[in-house]
């Protein structure tokens, strides 16, 4: 109920339209319904996924049809092309920034900063131009900072999703000399190719490439590749133990990662969305840091 709390506190104004994307978390549509009950003037638009066993093509067609129906407007070809080109430019620039930061083992952007930056992809803006300009400027500044920095090998953990809602986590890890980089939650994979004859087709195709909760083996392989490429000390996951959608897959994926790569997987038991006892969190992080320190002589 984060949205309701931020509206009630005056942090944000009630939106005119509420897009509920139930593609990953099917609870999203339910919580959106509660928000609409409290704010009946909000126009709700629910995007859901097919339940049961369907082919990728069937899922794609169903998703594209829903998106087209919900738009309720005709978009000119030039406006559509411009919007899509802007989005692709934003995605590619953000991927370049993430790659640059990960290669320096998190010495350019802290864990919270990286997670907050990547959360742009989860945010709606009425005008994307200022966002794109800000991201372009950040990329330039980080490249300049990298040229001037004295690089040294750092301890880092690749993370499922740095818990920016509890920013103390990244800070505590940094206090033990461990940077958090990542994040798996924003990775994509090459799904089956589908025809992209309209904007709704393009959006649907992009959604079909979301990695998490789609293919466990593919997710584990993606993580293993990054653990080795960025010279990490291990993988940090957990944080969603109370979430039946994400939490249900994490231990299976962790076993695949450890079996395939030999890298340790650390579970940080906490609630990503809720308040946490900081003393307990610090004790758990200290134990992880001690395990990493003990493994310093081991070459993964």
Q: Residue 194 has what pLDDT?
A: 80
CA distance 262 to 272: 27
> Which tokens is 293 given?
């320190």
| Cβ atoms of 60 and 204 closer than 8 Å | yes
> Which tokens is 173 given?
């890890």
Q: Residue 300 has what pLDDT?
A: 44
Question: What does the pLDDT look like over 170-229, one tens digit per residue?
Answer: 999 999 999 999 999 899 877 677 878 888 898 888 888 888 877 889 999 999 999 999
Phi, psi of 100 (to 5 degrees): -60, -45
> Which stretch of 51-55, 240-244, 247-251, 288-292 has the lowest confidence by average pLDDT?
240-244
CA distance 185 to 213: 10
Question: What does the pLDDT look like over 155-181, one tens digit per residue?
Answer: 999 999 998 888 999 999 999 999 999
Identify the band that residue 50 occupies on the pLDDT scale cut at 50, 70 and 90. Answer: confident
CA 52 to centroid of chain Cα atoms: 25
Using the predicted structure, report yes or no on whether residue 47 has a pLDDT greater than 90.
Answer: no
Identify the band that residue 152 occupies on the pLDDT scale cut at 50, 70 and 90. Answer: confident
CA distance 82 to 80: 5
Q: Residue 30 has what pLDDT?
A: 66
Domains of the chain: 49-294 (3.40.50.11900)
Strands 234-238 and 155-159: parallel
The pLDDT of 85-109, averaged and rounded, is 95
Q: Residue 141 has what pLDDT?
A: 97
Q: Which residues sit opposite 267 in a β-bridge?
A: 237
Percent of the chain exceeding pLDDT 90 equals 44
| Cβ atoms of 158 and 230 closer than 8 Å | yes
How far are the Cα atoms of 56, 239, 250 from residue 232, in angstroms, in the given order?
34, 19, 19
The pLDDT of 90-102, averaged and rounded, is 96
Question: What does the pLDDT look like over 229-270, one tens digit per residue?
Answer: 999 999 999 887 776 666 678 889 999 999 999 999 999 988
Using the predicted structure, report yes or no on whether residue 14 has a pLDDT greater than 70.
Answer: yes
Q: Residue 16 has what pLDDT?
A: 80
Q: Residue 211 has what pLDDT?
A: 82
CA distance 262 to 271: 27
Q: Which residues sit opposite 238 in a β-bridge?
A: 268
| Cβ atoms of 45 and 57 closer than 8 Å | no
SS3 content of the chain, % helix, strand, coil (to 5): 55, 10, 35
Identify the band that residue 1 occupies on the pLDDT scale cut at 50, 70 and 90. Answer: very low
| Cβ atoms of 285 and 173 closer than 8 Å | yes
Predicted TM-score of the model (pTM): 0.86
Under DSSP, the state recorded for 172 is H
Identify the band that residue 54 occupies on the pLDDT scale cut at 50, 70 and 90. Answer: confident
Average pLDDT, the chain: 86
CA distance 132 to 118: 13
């Amino acid at each position: 109920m984060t949205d309701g709390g931020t509206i009630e506190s005056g942090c944000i104004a009630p939106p005119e339209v509420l897009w509920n994307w139930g593609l990953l978390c099917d609870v999203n549509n339910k919580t959106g319904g509660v928000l609409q009950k409290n704010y009946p003037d909000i126009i709700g638009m629910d995007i859901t996924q097919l339940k049961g066993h369907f082919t990728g093509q069937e899922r794609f067609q169903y998703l594209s049809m829903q998106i087209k129906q919900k738009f309720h407007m005709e978009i000119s070809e030039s406006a559509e092309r411009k919007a899509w080109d802007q989005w692709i430019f934003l995605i590619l620039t953000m991927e370049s920034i993430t790659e640059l930061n990960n290669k320096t083992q998190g010495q350019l952007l802290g864990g919270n900063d990286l997670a907050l930056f990547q959360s742009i992809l989860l945010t709606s803006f009425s005008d994307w131009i200022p966002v794109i300009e800000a991201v372009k400027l950040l990329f330039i500044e980080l490249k300049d900072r990298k040229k001037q920095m004295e690089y040294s090998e750092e301890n880092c953990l690749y993370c499922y999703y740095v818990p920016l809602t509890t920013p103390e986590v990244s800070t505590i890890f940094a206090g033990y000399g461990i940077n958090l980089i990542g994040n798996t939650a924003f990775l994509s994979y090459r799904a089956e190719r589908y025809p992209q004859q309209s904007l709704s087709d393009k959006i649907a195709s992009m959604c079909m490439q979301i990695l998490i909760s789609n293919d466990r083996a593919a997710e584990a392989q993606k993580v293993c590749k990054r653990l080795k490429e960025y010279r990490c000390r291990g993988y940090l996951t957990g944080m969603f133990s109370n979430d039946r959608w994400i939490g249900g897959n994490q231990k299976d994926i962790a076993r695949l990662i450890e079996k395939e790569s030999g890298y340790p997987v650390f579970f940080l038991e906490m609630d990503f969305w809720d308040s946490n006892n900081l003393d307990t969190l610090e004790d758990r992080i200290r134990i992880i840091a001690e395990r990493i320190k003990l493994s310093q002589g081991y070459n993964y």
